[in-house]
Amino acid sequence: MNLFRSVSSSRYCDGSITASIPAGCYTDSSTDDVDIFYKLLRQWRMETLWISSITEAINRPAFKKIVKMGEKVLPLILEEISVQPDLLVAALPIITGEDPVHETDRGNLPAMAIAWTEWYREHRC
Amino acid sequence: MATSLLWPLPGRNGIVNIGVDEILSAFPALNPEKLAITSPATPLYNCIAWAGGDTYRKWWPDVTRIGYWPKGVPRIETITAFQMAFETLGFVLCASDRLEDGQEKIAFFHKDKIPTHAARQLPNGLWTSKLGESFDVAHDLHGLEGAQYGRLALIMQRATK
């Protein structure tokens, strides 16, 4: 299921580009927001591999750093959770201050990913 | 059987291989002869959900309201609240983790009185757990005690359906 086919990790839907990532040619850059996001995401996913507690998972420093990157990483988060919904969705209400998820969908990560994708299309694109 | 994580971690590392060796490293008290990976890795449900038979959502009483939590049960991270959550599924407190005919048992773990994990007993006397964001495994119960999940907190049981 890919809910967000039109967004690539190199272009936000408002037209701004933070990095172009030609396939097979990407090089690290410590100042590149996309690279920083993915490094933090990889670190966080490895650190939370055995963790069931949502509280513990979102209190990890790497997750907090992702949140601190703010709205510029919304397209990256949405792209990630459209491919594989996971607790990264928890960053969205913290970053945006919004909560479009229906009460009956709490804990249902695919449903939450859909709710957020629809919210993003309506409010940020 | 070793199974790779089924979702690619982003970046140049791609798929990360996690298997029995990594589980034994994280949970050194596990008896390797009783350990088996019994599902692909998935982040869609967690150990609490799996213990209650739910495989389509995460259960947790987080204040951010990401996790599902049964209506009417206090949304707080205490053993008592987790006990109450499973009482909504028909479980009651039980004194023993021994296998008993006609009874399905759940075990909760805690660190400093904060719940960390739940496991469900299998008909053969071993236990099944969803390990965080990774696999379901079959294992010996006390093998999960240690730095990751702390100690056993309590056992609950209900009649087998």
List, for residues B66-121, the tens digit of each pLDDT value.
999 999 999 999 999 999 999 999 999 999 999 999 999 999 999 999 999 999 99
Q: What is the DSSP letter of B95?
A: S
Residue A20 inside a domain? The answer is no
Encoded amino acid at B109, one letter: F
Q: Under DSSP, is residue A115 helix (H, G, I), strand (E, B) or coil?
A: helix
The span from the CA of B111 to the CA of A78, in Å, is 33
Q: What is the pLDDT of residue A110?
A: 96
Taking CB atoms and an 8 Å limit, are A49 and B133 in contact across chains?
Answer: yes
| Tokens (6 digits) for B90 | 């028909």
Question: Which residues span the domain enclosing B104?
Answer: 20-159
Taking CB atoms and an 8 Å limit, are B57 and A45 in contact across chains?
Answer: no
The complex's ipTM works out to 0.90
Residue A46 inside a domain? The answer is yes
Q: What are the CA-CA distances from residue A32 to residues A17, A26, A80 (Å)?
A: 11, 11, 18
Q: What is the DSSP letter of B142?
A: G
Residue A6 inside a domain? The answer is no
Contact B149, B143 (CB under 8 A): no
The span from the CA of B69 to the CA of B85, in Å, is 7
Residue A53 inside a domain? The answer is yes
Site of tokens 């987080």: B62
Total domains, chain B: 1
Contact A96, A71 (CB under 8 A): yes
Residue A107 inside a domain? The answer is yes
Residue B12 inside a domain? The answer is no
Tell me the pLDDT tens digit for each residue of A29-79: 455 899 899 889 989 998 999 999 999 999 999 999 999 999 999 999 999
A107 vs B57, B63, B77: nearest CB: B57
Residue B9 inside a domain? The answer is no
Total domains, chain A: 1
Residue A70 inside a domain? The answer is yes
Residue A85 inside a domain? The answer is yes
Residues A70-96 have a mean pLDDT of: 94
Give residue ranges of B with CB < 8 Å to any A CB. 7, 9-13, 16, 18, 26-27, 43-44, 46-49, 56-60, 62-69, 77, 114-118, 130-134, 148
Residue A7 inside a domain? The answer is no
